[in-house]
Amino acid sequence: MTAAVLFENVSRHFGPVKAVDAVDLEVAAGEFFAMLGPSGSGKTTCLRLMAGFEQPTHGHIEIFGETAEGVPPYRRSVNTVFQDYALFPHLSILDNVAYGLMVKGVGKEERRKAAEDALAMVKLPGYGTRKPGQLSGGQRQRVALARALVNKPKVLLLDEPLGALDLKLREQMQEELKSLQKSLGITFVFVTHDQGEALSMADRIAVFNDGRIQQLGTPEDIYKRPQTRFVADFVGSSNVLSSATCAKLGIPSAAASLRPEAITIGTSWAEQLSLPGKVTARSFLGAVNRVSVDCNGEKIIVTSPAAMPVPDIGADVQLAFSRNDLHLMEEA
Amino acid sequence: MRSDRSTSAPLGLKIAAIGGLAFLHIPILLIFLYAFTTEEKSYQFPPPGLTLQWFAVTWNRPDVWEALTLSVKVATIATAIALVLGTFCAAAVSQTRFFGRETISLLVILPIALPGIITGIALRSAFSMADIPFSFWTIVLGHATFCIVVVYNNAVARFRRVSGSLIEASMDLGADGFQTFRHVILPNIGTALLAGGMLAFALSFDEVIVTTFTGGQQSTLPIWMLEELIRPRQRPVTNVVAMVVMLVTFLPILAAYYLTRDGDQIAGAGK
Amino acid sequence: MSALATEATILPNRPGLTGRISDFLWKHPYVLLAVLLGPPVLWLGIIYLGSLFALLLQSFFSIDDFSGLINYEFTLATYKQLLSDANFDIIVRTVLMAATVTLFSALIAFPIAYYAARYAKGKWKAVFYLGVMLPLWSSYLVKIYAWKLILAKEGILTWAFTKLNLLWLLDGWLALPIIGGNSLSVSYTGTFLVFVYVWMPFMILPIQAALERVPGNLIEASSDLGGTPQQTFRHVLFPLALPGIVAGSIFTFSLTLGDYIIPQIVGSSRLFIGQAVYAQQGTAGNIPLAAAFTVVPIVIMGLYLWMAKRMGAFDAL
């Protein structure tokens, strides 16, 4: 099956800045794909390369098997939900949604009906006569979604779609987007800097840093088995053990990641690994306690269920964890 | 939060501010009064009597009509040229980034930043060096040059408010460059262009310094006024013309104000 | 929507000429830039800058005293002539006038701008805005004409002074040397009043813009810290408004430097730079000297702009 989006060794340079640097990427058809990374990591430029707002400096891009370089945005069956929504302020909501059909020459009655259907799909029926300025942020976001989906795009691009919404609305929209994507079967590619959003929504995640993909995999892969220190730091907050600590555990490796919730304090079973250390800080976070332990100069964070007793600051403790939870990384 | 203190101004400031505004407006009100005076020979105040007869006299003066038509023609064509050039320039400067943008802005502003006499005499000596006879078109050429900046300023200010992603959104939804211009760019900058055009018209309609250098035998309304000011022939007719000129320039200015004000609201609502 | 359900992911080229042009311009954004920038840059570059350079060039030529023809050889003789006593007087007179006009414009404009920026709300804000914009944009000549009406011996000013029994004051003023004269309309005082009237609105707008950018809580902070209104004004408001005043002064100074119509209609027979330029190029036919005279405001304004830029005045424009 052809990939929805294919990047082969794609770079986009702005003068001396390598915004995207030799990226290889394959988004499968019907997939919910997330590009995760801090600002300036190249994820948004990748999205703009897919939309056609940017052209690659080197490399090759295909959308459903067709070459996309040199094809303007208006000839791609790809639509975008913009971060600031970019609704046309001078047009009514209905005309905003019908815009794509209008410029393609669809008849007035037909496009009105299609736009109304699309508005109903995003749960805004009857809002057509209003102007964008009269809607709330969440409503504008839905209009932007309807405006893109009414064109039946092959790929829908979402640029930080939930960034401007408050927490509660964001969680609600996450679920709606996910179910919308399932029911429509359209390939969604979305950009976010929020790892929680990426983990909960995406089928697969590409983690970006400095214009390169650090790791590409399922949310579980990314979360449990970070391959680089950057991914371990950025996605959640894994402990990264140095090569010296690894050596002490009898494992030859440049570095290894260890999730805080995989560690227990105190008793270790025979088959478990253990490290001695001293408690330096502790805080109560509701469901869990968060304990900082100094192991020979290396700070290790442990989260333990709130029901478990917590040692006092300054106490000497043993940290125990399974070998399977320790993930070796190629680089320090 | 504003404190109550800041909502009422000190008395001295109030008097100075209102006095300053009065200083700006009393001379203009006088123009309206003098248009009705019965006094023919001097600028006597208070007017000995009021009459409407000078409106009829002015109405029947062919030289006033000729000057008025010429001014309107020049202003119309100069405004049209300025609209095209100013909008093009504003679009290039605000929608793309290129080397030397600041230089372009400076170049556009220069014709009104430098005293009018410099623009005038420079054009005049260039025309005579190039053996171009002074005509209607040399006046238009001069006027269009300094009108560009007015359109440019209005258009740049609006372009800045039309977020760049609107154009990308339009392209993304399948509109090519021309469709995007027609359906997105034009509706969003239309009122700003209209306002810029109005102000350019007012500027050209009123211009006298550059015109004295670039015009030949033709006299625009301001040139006609200037001759009357230096060598008064029929003061009452001048009084009436002055009032009419005032009104003709007021209307586009008021229209420009309301156009850009509404535009701000539209742009503000889109945020 | 079925009509739209195209199978192709990449749509075909748009048919027709506009589609092809659109594609071409999208692929070559620099062509689009050239199309947009070309006409205005050619117009201003050739017509305007070309004329300006041609004019400046002429200031390095001289005029043959006998034939009255221009001698096309590089010389600084014209500049020497420019600095002769009589011509230098004209320059000094104009600069002094421009400086005085600027100072008084700022004094009158400040309260208006301050009130409009900090106290006028809602409808009054619009009244103040239009109250400044209308005089600013309305006809320059008609405004001068209005002052001819006001300053005339039989006009409203004399009438007002008579009614107030203050005619002695007006006569006393006119009896003063230099600034006085036979009547206000042929004195420097008259010229000065018209200059201030005509250019002052250009001072109000930048000051207002600068003051509007001063956050209200800054002034409250100053009062909270025990500042009297005078101290708040001197240490907080005035320094923040200064770039606006400098920006406004660019207009009032430059416009006064180059004007030749106001002193011609209201004023004494002593010339200003603008009048000298006009006379040299017209009746005297001495284009090189006229060109040299125009260099003076250009140089002065160049220096002025350079200093203004260093004071951050351009942010207030």
* CATH number assigned to the domain comprising residue A19: 3.40.50.300
Q: Enumerate the residues of chain C whose CB falls inside 8 A of the CB of residue B108.
A: 40, 44
C215 and C278 fall within a common domain: yes
* Minimum distance, in Å, between the CA of residue A109 and any CA atom of chain B: 19
- Domain end among A189, A212, A233: A233
Domain region containing A143: 5-233
Q: What is the average pLDDT score of chain A?
A: 86
What confidence category does residue B3 fall into, taking pLDDT thresholds of 50, 70 and 90? Answer: very low
Res. C68: pLDDT tops 90: no
C131 and C261 fall within a common domain: yes
Q: Which residue has the higher pLDDT, B136 or A267?
A: B136
CA distance readout (Å), A174 to A161, A186, C254: 10, 16, 60
What confidence category does residue C2 fall into, taking pLDDT thresholds of 50, 70 and 90? Answer: very low
Identify which of B40-54, C145-159, C302-316 has the greatest average pLDDT.
C145-159
Q: Which residue has the higher pLDDT, B114 or B21?
A: B21
* Neighbour count for residue C117 (Cβ, 10 Å): 21
Please indicate, yes or no, if residue C153 is contained in any of the structural domains: yes
A134 and A228 fall within a common domain: yes
- For the residues A54-61, what does the mean pLDDT come to? 89
SS3 call for B266: helix
Q: Structural domain tally of chain A?
A: 2
Res. A268: pLDDT tops 70: no
Contact (Cβ atoms closer than 8 angstroms) between residue B238 and residue B232? yes
Q: Enumerate the residues of chain B whose CB falls inside 8 A of the CB of residue A105.
A: none
pLDDT recorded at residue A270? 66
Instruction: CATH number of the domain at A295, please.
Output: 2.40.50.100
- For the residues C306-313, what does the mean pLDDT come to? 73
Phi, psi torsion values for C267, nearest 5 degrees:
155, 180
Of all helices (H) and strands (E), which one includes residue C3? none
Contact (Cβ atoms closer than 8 angstroms) between residue C194 and residue C255? no
Per the CB < 8 Å rule, is B174 touching A53?
A: no
Residues 28-57 of C with CB under 8 A from B: 29, 32-33, 35-37, 39-41, 43-45, 47-52, 54-55
A167 and A42 fall within a common domain: yes
The encoded tokens of residue B62 equal 């062919």
* Minimum distance, in Å, between the CA of residue C115 and any CA atom of chain B: 6
Please indicate, yes or no, if residue C224 is contained in any of the structural domains: yes
Say how far apart CA A208 and CA C238 lie, in whole Å. Answer: 50
pLDDT recorded at residue C4? 41
Say how far apart CA B263 and CA B266 lie, in whole Å. Answer: 5
Instruction: State the residue for tokens 């004023």.
Output: C267
Per the CB < 8 Å rule, is B85 touching C43?
A: yes
A84 and A193 fall within a common domain: yes
- Strands annotated E in C21-110: 62-63, 70-71
pLDDT recorded at residue B74? 93
The encoded tokens of residue B240 equal 């009436």
- B238 interface with C at CB cutoff 8 Å: yes
C88 and C43 fall within a common domain: no
* Minimum distance, in Å, between the CA of residue B133 and any CA atom of chain A: 48
Across B69-83, C80-94, C226-240, least confident range = C226-240
A156 and A201 fall within a common domain: yes
Per the CB < 8 Å rule, is B267 touching A100?
A: no
A246 and A219 fall within a common domain: no
What confidence category does residue A240 fall into, taking pLDDT thresholds of 50, 70 and 90? Answer: confident
* Minimum distance, in Å, between the CA of residue C217 and any CA atom of chain B: 8
Across A106-115, A303-312, B70-79, B199-208, least confident range = A303-312
Res. B2: pLDDT tops 70: no
The encoded tokens of residue A321 equal 């964890």
CA distance readout (Å), C300 to B114, C50, C98, C274, C297: 11, 21, 11, 14, 5
Q: Enumerate the residues of chain A whose CB falls inside 8 A of the CB of residue B188.
A: 89-90
Q: What is the average pLDDT score of chain B?
A: 82
C163 and C43 fall within a common domain: no
* Minimum distance, in Å, between the CA of residue C158 and any CA atom of chain B: 9
Per the CB < 8 Å rule, is A152 touching C1?
A: yes
- B115 interface with A at CB cutoff 8 Å: no
Q: What is the pLDDT of residues C99-124, one digit of tens each?
A: 999 999 999 999 998 888 888 877 88
What confidence category does residue C1 fall into, taking pLDDT thresholds of 50, 70 and 90? Answer: very low
Say how far apart CA A256 and CA A214 lie, in whole Å. Answer: 16
Say how far apart CA A78 and CA A68 lie, in whole Å. Answer: 11
Per the CB < 8 Å rule, is A101 touching C4?
A: yes
Per the CB < 8 Å rule, is B171 touching A73?
A: yes
Domain region containing C291: 78-316
Instruction: CATH number of the domain at C225, please.
Output: 1.10.3720.10
C25 and C174 fall within a common domain: no
Instruction: State the residue for tokens 């609704």.
Output: A87
Q: What angle do CA C228, C233, C236 make, to 5 degrees?
A: 105
SS3 call for C222: helix
The encoded tokens of residue B109 equal 């502003």
A193 and A250 fall within a common domain: no
Say how far apart CA B122 and CA C294 lie, in whole Å. Answer: 9
C203 and C301 fall within a common domain: yes
Q: Enumerate the residues of chain A whose CB falls inside 8 A of the CB of residue B174.
A: 74, 100, 103-104, 151
- Domain end among A217, A233, A249: A233
Closest Cα in chain C to A101: C4
Res. C316: pLDDT tops 70: no
CA distance readout (Å), B3 to A43, C114, C119, C224: 47, 17, 12, 12
pLDDT recorded at residue B7? 54
Per the CB < 8 Å rule, is A89 touching B267?
A: yes
Closest Cα in chain B to C290: B121
A28 and A57 fall within a common domain: yes
pLDDT recorded at residue B130? 85
Q: Enumerate the residues of chain C whose CB falls inside 8 A of the CB of residue A78.
A: 9
pLDDT recorded at residue B250? 83
C161 and C281 fall within a common domain: yes
Neighbours of C (≥3 Cβ pairs closer than 8 A)? A, B
What confidence category does residue B266 fall into, taking pLDDT thresholds of 50, 70 and 90? Answer: very low
A294 and A263 fall within a common domain: yes
- For the residues C134-158, what does the mean pLDDT come to? 86
Q: Helix/strand/coil (H, E, C) string of A184-245?
A: HCCEEEEEECCHHHHHHHCCEEEEEECCEEEEEECHHHHHHCCCCHHHHHHCCCCEEEEHHH
A225 and A263 fall within a common domain: no
pLDDT recorded at residue B94? 80
Please indicate, yes or no, if residue C137 is contained in any of the structural domains: yes
pLDDT recorded at residue A188? 92
C131 and C267 fall within a common domain: yes
Res. C3: pLDDT tops 60: no
- For the residues C273-301, what does the mean pLDDT come to? 85
pLDDT recorded at residue C7? 62
* Minimum distance, in Å, between the CA of residue A311 and any CA atom of chain C: 49
Q: Structural domain tally of chain C?
A: 2
Q: Enumerate the residues of chain B whose CB falls inside 8 A of the CB of residue A88.
A: 166, 169-170, 184, 270
Say how far apart CA C136 and CA C138 lie, in whole Å. Answer: 6
Say how far apart CA A146 and CA C280 lie, in whole Å. Answer: 70
Question: Nearest-CA neighbor of B163 among A47, A97, A85, A92?
Answer: A85
CA distance readout (Å), B70 to A244, B2, B89, B194, B246: 91, 53, 28, 22, 17
pLDDT recorded at residue B124? 86
The encoded tokens of residue C234 equal 């001197």
Q: What is the pLDDT of residues C176-188, one digit of tens each?
A: 887 877 788 888 8
Q: What is the pLDDT of residues C120-143, one digit of tens each?
A: 877 888 888 888 888 888 888 889
Comparing CB atoms, the residue among B14, B45, B145 nearest residue C44 is B145
Please indicate, yes or no, if residue C67 is contained in any of the structural domains: no
- B171 interface with A at CB cutoff 8 Å: yes
- For the residues C230-244, what does the mean pLDDT come to? 80
Q: Which residue has the higher pLDDT, B49 or B18?
A: B18
In Å, how far from its chain's centre is CA B93? 22
Comparing CB atoms, the residue among C48, C154, C257 nearest residue B145 is C48
Percentage with pLDDT > 70 across chain A? 98
Question: Nearest-CA neighbor of C259 among C108, C98, C56?
Answer: C98
Per the CB < 8 Å rule, is A72 touching C3?
A: no
Neighbours of B (≥3 Cβ pairs closer than 8 A)? A, C
What confidence category does residue C195 fall into, taking pLDDT thresholds of 50, 70 and 90? Answer: very high
Say how far apart CA A21 and CA A184 lie, in whole Å. Answer: 33
Per the CB < 8 Å rule, is A86 touching B166?
A: yes
- For the residues B157-183, what does the mean pLDDT come to? 85
A310 and A260 fall within a common domain: yes
- For the residues A169-175, what does the mean pLDDT come to? 85
A85 and A163 fall within a common domain: yes
At the second CATH level, the architecture of B54-269 is Orthogonal Bundle (1.10)
Contact (Cβ atoms closer than 8 angstroms) between residue B263 and residue B192? yes
pLDDT recorded at residue A35? 92
- Domain end among A233, A257, A276: A233
A142 and A266 fall within a common domain: no
